[in-house]
């Protein structure tokens, strides 16, 4: 079974998919779900349809606690059936998995099984899509990034597979599966780039190049630049190769040259297969952000206050506009809404930040920081009573005294002080003091209560 990018869909199906996407934006996720499910029955490898479906599922799942409870039961009942059907009818298993995800779109088990079945059906891009969600839900699980890396390798995206392996090894340095993935993906990346270069007109295979195909290079600047040069020659002969442009961008990013990485992602997005690729759009933003952050660092090192102010303003504008654009396109993505809210809050715009945090609350992955952000937004807007309510919920959901927990407790203490509840404020500040005497100005604040 082959992958079906959105651009290759039958024109009628593509028109229906456009209507489904509009329905999500218009607040009718149920219609979008039914349309996308019908498209995926005909074209199970259409990642664009599955992406719109996921947005619709998340929008509908935000209905409240009862919906989440029913969703948990539906997943518990549906996934065993899907797993049992996997061997005899994998396509049918995909349908059952999506039914479970409609009930609970943040089920790690469902995303894991979806990726596994997609690989059974030789739909590596669908598997990548599933495992990317798994990694967002399980950011500290090395096995999730290993699964993503293997799917990326199956899709021929070896540079991204290397990055997934490196992420897994940061989580679990001794993980043998991650080590094997890194080794195999690095070798495959080198062989692929060299093979493409060898097939380009006017390119000759040399003994040195042949030797390079047998072993993975180290992460030295020279080896990365050699690999980039070979890949750029190959891309010149095949300018529609999205995978190759993505690989070149990843290598430039590893060299610490995000501006070049962003330029190559732009090349990838300009191809027929890259226009609807959500991951490319996000990478273009991330690399652009990194490039402007480098400009800020250079201006700071240069010691020119006016140049630094201009660079910081440019970065701030890029972040605001880029995140706002991404949020409009992917309104159900809590991580994007959280980032935009935090950016607005940092600039003192609590009124505009609050709706972003409220939208982010629908995404279970970021609920704790979104609740903190919403409380801080209300406090900044002069509503300490509303702030206290949100921050109390945040503290109950996140009682640990890690960095986030300390931020929640400090903001809660401030809200209590503003409301004149000195006993509650003192209790929160003293709890902070007991956990970290050097945290912000807690020592000074506690001293006032003695």
Q: How confident is the model at residue 218 (pLDDT cuts 50, 70, 90)?
A: very low
Least confident of 92-106, 144-158, 404-418: 92-106
Q: Is the pLDDT of residue 317 over 50?
A: yes
Higher pLDDT, 405 or 11: 405
Tens digits of residue pLDDT in 348-406: 888 899 999 999 998 877 888 899 999 999 999 999 999 999 999 999 888 888 888 89
Q: Pick the closest to residue 210 from 188, 189, 195 (CA basis).
A: 195
pLDDT score, position 203: 45
Q: What topology does CATH give the domain 333-450?
A: 1.25.40
Task: Name the residue ranges covered by the structural domains of the chain.
Answer: 1-138, 239-312, 333-450
Residue 315 phi/psi, 5-degree rounding, is: -65, -45
Tell me the pTM: 0.56
Rg (CA), the chain: 24
Task: Give me the helices (H) in 255-398, please.
Answer: 258-269, 278-302, 305-329, 334-346, 350-360, 367-380, 384-397
d(CA 146, CA 161): 8
d(CA 15, CA 35): 11
Tens digits of residue pLDDT in 55-90: 888 887 765 544 554 445 455 556 788 887 877 888
Q: Is the pLDDT of residue 129 over 90?
A: yes
Whats the size of the chain, residue-wise? 450
Positive or negative, the CA dihedral 341, 345, 349, 351 is: positive
Calculate mean pLDDT across residues 340-354.
Answer: 90
Are residues 32 and 21 in contact, defined by beta-carbon separation less than 8 angstroms? yes
Tens digits of residue pLDDT in 396-415: 888 888 888 899 999 999 99
Quote the mean pLDDT of the chain.
Answer: 83
DSSP state of 63: T
Q: Roughly what angle, to the nearest 10 degrees, separates helices 278-302 and 258-269? A: 160
Q: Pick the closest to residue 296 from 287, 286, 309, 283 (CA basis).
A: 309
CATH class for the domain made up of 1-138:
mainly alpha
Topology agreement, domain 1-138 and domain 333-450: yes
């Amino acid at each position: 079974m082959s992958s079906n990018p959105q651009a290759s869909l039958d024109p009628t199906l593509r028109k229906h998919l456009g209507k489904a996407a509009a329905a999500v934006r218009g607040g009718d996720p149920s219609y979008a779900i039914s349309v996308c499910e019908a498209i995926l029955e005909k074209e199970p490898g259409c990642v664009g349809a599955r992406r719109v479906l996921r947005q619709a599922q998340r929008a509908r799942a935000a209905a409240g606690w009862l919906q989440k409870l029913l969703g948990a039961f539906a997943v518990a009942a549906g996934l065993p059936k899907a797993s049992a059907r996997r061997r005899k009818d994998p396509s049918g298993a995909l349908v059952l998995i999506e039914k479970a995800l409609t009930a609970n779109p943040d089920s790690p088990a469902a995303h894991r099984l979806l990726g596994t079945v997609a690989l059974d059906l030789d739909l590596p891009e669908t598997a990548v899509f599933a495992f990317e969600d798994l990694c967002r839900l399980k950011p500290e699980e090395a096995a999730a990034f290993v699964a993503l890396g293997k799917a990326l390798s199956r899709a021929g995206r070896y540079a991204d597979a290397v990055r997934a392996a490196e992420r897994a090894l940061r989580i679990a340095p001794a993980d043998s599966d991650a080590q094997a993935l890194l080794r195999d993906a690095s070798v495959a990346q080198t062989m692929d780039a060299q093979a493409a270069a060898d097939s380009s007109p006017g390119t000759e295979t040399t003994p040195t190049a042949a030797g390079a195909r047998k072993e993975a290079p180290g992460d030295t600047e020279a080896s990365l630049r050699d690999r980039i040069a070979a890949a750029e020659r190959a891309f010149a002969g095949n300018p529609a190769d999205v995978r190759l442009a993505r690989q070149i961008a990843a290598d430039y990013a590893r060299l610490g040259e995000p501006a070049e990485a962003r330029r190559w992602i732009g090349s990838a997005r300009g191809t027929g297969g890259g226009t609807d690729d959500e991951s490319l759009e996000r990478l273009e933003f991330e690399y652009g952000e990194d490039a402007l952050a480098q400009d800020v660092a250079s201006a700071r090192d240069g010691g020119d206050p006016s140049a630094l102010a201009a660079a910081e303003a440019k970065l701030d504008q890029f972040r605001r506009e880029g995140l706002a654009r991404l949020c409009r396109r992917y309104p159900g993505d809590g991580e994007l809404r959280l980032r935009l809210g935090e950016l607005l809050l940092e600039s003192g715009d609590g009124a505009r930040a609050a709706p972003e945090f409220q939208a982010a609350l629908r995404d279970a992955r970021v609920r704790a920081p979104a609740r903190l952000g919403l409380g801080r937004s209300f406090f900044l807007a002069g509503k300490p009573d509303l702030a206290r309510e949100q921050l109390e919920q945040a503290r109950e959901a996140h009682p640990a005294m890690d960095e986030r927990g300390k931020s929640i407790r400090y903001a809660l203490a401030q809200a209590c002080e503003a409301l004149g509840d000195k006993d509650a404020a003192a209790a929160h500040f003293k709890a902070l003091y007991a956990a970290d005497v050097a945290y912000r100005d807690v020592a000074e604040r506690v001293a006032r209560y003695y």
